[in-house]
Amino acid sequence: MAKFIQLYLVIGFFLFNFVFGYLNHRFRRNEPSIVKREPRFWILGTIRFLLLLIWFVVFFLAEGYKYKLFSNSSSSFVSLLELAGLILYTLGGFLILWARSTLGEWFATRLVTKKGQRVIQEGPYKFVRHPIYVGGTLALWGLTLALNSLVTLLILAIPFPIFLYVVARVEEKLLVSTFKGEYQEYQSKVSMFVPGARKS
């Protein structure tokens, strides 16, 4: 079971990055010019990089993979949790790719506004305002369960959603100032992360 999980995670990771890279290449040809940047956004990007780097060092180089969430890794309960983790990992990846495809040429890895940009309300954006962050959170919690990893829980699965919430708040300040009432109306109709939850 452990080897299957490891193989599944690795193949899924490479397939996800291949498709994501293809979508980036496909839409880059029609990408509009940038008209506004948030100069302090690099700080958030640095925090994200450091979290991933710390996890990699602790999990692989410091043998953090030995620390399990549930010690009895042979039990059927743990096997079910690991299987549920693979499902969450997969769903998270699909949600990210769906959102990336829906954004098309408006996608950006930095906090920017592009010429002619509009408020995207199609695809997964009909249900939540930040589906990429929801997908990332699902994938990280799925990774935690699939690996049965305490280190992944403490370094990624708990801090990352908090980090993404802060990023989303910063992004929305820029979007409100750019689109004014249009984005505020969207906020009143669609929740940030949980479909059907209280709008804010």
How much is the pLDDT for 70? 87
Indicate the pLDDT class of residue 112, thresholds 50, 70 and 90.
confident
Choice between 73 and 196, residue whose per-residue pLDDT is larger: 196
Enumerate the domain spans of the chain.
2-29+40-189
Residue type, 188: S
How much is the pLDDT for 105? 92
Give the residue-averaged pLDDT of 22-45. 82
Indicate the pLDDT class of residue 150, thresholds 50, 70 and 90.
very high
Residue carrying the six token digits 């490891």: 6
How much is the pLDDT for 84? 96
What mean pLDDT, rounded, does the chain reach? Answer: 91
Give the residue-averaged pLDDT of 165-190. 91
Indicate the pLDDT class of residue 145, thresholds 50, 70 and 90.
very high
DSSP string, 141-172: HHHHHHHTBHHHIIIIITHHHHHHHHHHHHHH
CATH number given to 2-29+40-189: 1.20.120.1630
List the structure tokens of 65: 């993979």
42 pLDDT above the threshold of 70 = yes
**Spatial separation of the C-alpha atoms in residues 161 and 157, rounded to whole Å:** 7
SS3 49: helix
List of residues 6+ apart from 61 with CB closer than 8 A: none
Q: How far is CA 114 from the centre of its chain?
A: 22
How much is the pLDDT for 73? 61
SS3 6: helix
39 pLDDT above the threshold of 80 = no
The region of weakest confidence among 29-33, 58-62, 72-76 is 72-76
**Spatial separation of the C-alpha atoms in residues 88 and 5, rounded to whole Å:** 13
List the structure tokens of 102: 């829906």
Give the residue-averaged pLDDT of 36-63. 85
Give the residue-averaged pLDDT of 176-182. 88
